[in-house]
Amino acid sequence: MGADMIESPWLAAIITLFLWWFSTGLILWRVRVADNGGPLDHLNSVVIAVPMLAVGLYAARISLPDLSANGIYTAFLSALALWGWIELAFLSGVITGPNHSPCPPFAPAGERFWRAVGTIAWHETLLIVTMVGLGLASFHAANPFAFGTFALLFFARISAKLNLFFGVPRINTQFLPRPLAHLPSHFRQGRITAFFPVSVSVLTVASALLLERAINVTVPGMSVGYALLTCLCLLALLEHWFMVLPLPDEKLWRWMMPAAKPQKERLSEDPNGL
């Protein structure tokens, strides 16, 4: 692939869109397969994927001094690998939080908040530690895009989780696995709150600023990096609108999901399964 092609912002947009769709689908598929299996299948998924974590750490390190387009793509992919492993560990119920029980239906807002925090505490802690580690490693490095990608994913996810907590009209829970069956009890489905327009406005402004950098930066590699971040931010904005608009976003991945086995069928295959 020629240098001009690698440095094309259109290629960056296509790659970002494909990786968002494919990586999300792959994780959801693996979690569903483990859900249909035995009690250790979720843990096995996380253990088998440890090389992805190792490759992500290694790729992030070697990308730091390289501000070429290849180095930018390496940094971007390394952040996605790190993020993907941590998300797989969360959805598999391996790294979640100390609270594994549903929230009572009429719990006060304060209690519901702390219960919600308890369901994701270890997962969020690992995300923060990883983000801080990437930030420290990138502080004096030429290529900061592994940190930038991971940080953008983190803050967009925090915004989405807060919207689910405060309240949104549409909450898609059909892909949640058995280990996280208690999670939707902490969500609130209903009219949007003031936090939603604030969050989408911030993401819109961030997308515009990143796009401005992608257009006006003079270093070709950095132009690719900002194009990747612009597309990622726009996808995060789209995911926020999915919580409000009546769009069948689940169809993007539902076709590739194996059917969920009924609980009685799973128990008959494994009497000790949950």
pLDDT tens per residue, range 110-134:
999 999 999 999 999 999 999 999 9
pLDDT band (50, 70, 90) for residue 273? very low
What Cα–Cα distance (Å) separates residue 191 from each residue in 66, 230, 238?
47, 29, 18
Write down the pLDDT at residue 97. Answer: 95
At residue 90, φ and ψ (nearest 5 deg) are -70, -50
At residue 245, φ and ψ (nearest 5 deg) are -85, 145
Write down the pLDDT at residue 272. Answer: 44
| Mean local confidence (pLDDT), 30-35 | 91
| Mean local confidence (pLDDT), 234-252 | 88
Write down the pLDDT at residue 5. Answer: 58
Q: Of 35-39, 79-83, 167-171, 223-227, where does the model show the most confidence?
A: 79-83
Give the chain's end-to-end CA distance (angstroms, integer).
49
152-169 pLDDT per residue, tens: 999 999 999 999 999 999
Say if CB 184 and CB 171 are below 8 A apart: yes
Helix (H, G, I), strand (E, B) or coil at 189: strand
pLDDT band (50, 70, 90) for residue 219? confident
| Mean local confidence (pLDDT), 268-273 | 46
Percentage, residues of the chain above pLDDT 70: 93
Closest CA to 31 of 48, 55, 54, 16: 48
Write down the pLDDT at residue 8. Answer: 78
- Which amino acid is present at 124? E
The Cα–Cα gap between 196 and 192 comes to: 6
What Cα–Cα distance (Å) separates residue 251 from each residue in 142, 170, 190, 254, 263?
40, 15, 22, 5, 24
Say if CB 177 and CB 92 are below 8 A apart: yes
Calculate the CA 227 to chain-centre distance. 19
DSSP per position, 121-160: HHHHHHHHHHHHHHHHHHTT-S--HHHHHHHHHHHHHHHH
Does pLDDT of 267 surpass 50?
no
Residue with tokens 């908040």: 113
Does pLDDT of 10 surpass 70?
yes
56-89 pLDDT per residue, tens: 999 999 999 999 999 999 999 999 999 999 999 9
Write down the pLDDT at residue 4. Answer: 56
